[in-house]
Amino acid sequence: MILYNQLINQIRDLLPACSNSFKYKKSVLKQGDKNSILLLKDTAYELGGSQKPCISTMAVTSTISFDNSTYLYGKDIPEIKEDTAYGKIVFLEIEDIDEDTAFDKIKELELVRYNYCPDGFMTRASALSMREQLRVSKKAVKKKISFADLGRSLINEYLKNPIVKSVQIIFITQFDKFDELLMLADKIKSTTSALNHILDNILFDCSTCNLKEICDEVEGMKELHMKKAKS
């Protein structure tokens, strides 16, 4: 699986050197009830709230290894006092999966963002807008839960999937290139959509397809399309 490699590298190039990194170790955060509601009276602030820049994306590869670490750009959870910008980027090294099951396995991994949230937090995620707002409780701030804790718990969750070999989690609360990051996240989403079209054997005229730009730009996408068209 190399379809996302170029985008992974572009995101890495966009981000400056990071001095705040945290190695993986067993997480002590407890899983919260995914249906629980964090009321405003119990909320310290919301990451991505008040119409602040907010972006969440995930990309997979079978040829790039990651260090099972969490990286932080900006202030940490105990330091934040009000609603602020928020970015969460997940890179996953996976087994080289069969093309016919690739889309389903990627969507299964994406479900982690909806199904897992530690106690003291509430996630409001939208795949369509690529936003993932994170409501942080006063209790979590008082306990001094950090992004290192949150990242380690997420890494642990992804590693439960047998096809995942390594993980990198990037949190952003301060960044001056959210617009560029959003464009790359949109290309990741479009790549997954194009993959779905191809694997569903949907035949279309490439010259008129709205996914043509992605097929032309993403290494391996056009070759996969031609291969599936002949099968």
For the ranges 113-127, 153-167, 170-184, 215-229, which has the lowest average pLDDT?
215-229
What tens digit of pLDDT does each residue of 19-32 get?
A: 899 999 887 788 87
pLDDT confidence of residue 209: 61
Sheet (strand 86-94) strand order = 21-23, 69-73, 164-172, 86-94, 54-61
Pairing of strands 69-73, 164-172: parallel
All structural domains of the chain, each given as residue ranges with its CATH number in brackets, are 5-177 (3.30.1650.10)
The percentage of residues in the chain with a pLDDT greater than 90, rounded to a whole number, is 64
**pLDDT bucket at 207, cuts 50 / 70 / 90:** low
The percentage of residues in the chain with a pLDDT greater than 70, rounded to a whole number, is 84
**pLDDT bucket at 200, cuts 50 / 70 / 90:** low
Pairing of strands 43-47, 121-126: unpaired
For the range 215-222, what are the long-range contacts, defined as Cβ-Cβ under 8 Å and sequence gap of 24 or more?
A: 217/6, 217/187, 218/3, 218/4, 218/6, 218/7, 218/187, 218/191, 218/194, 219/2, 219/3, 219/5, 219/6, 220/2, 220/3, 221/3, 221/191, 221/194, 221/195
pLDDT confidence of residue 150: 95
What tens digit of pLDDT does each residue of 120-172 get?
A: 999 988 767 788 999 999 999 999 999 999 999 999 999 999 999 999 999 99
pLDDT confidence of residue 144: 95
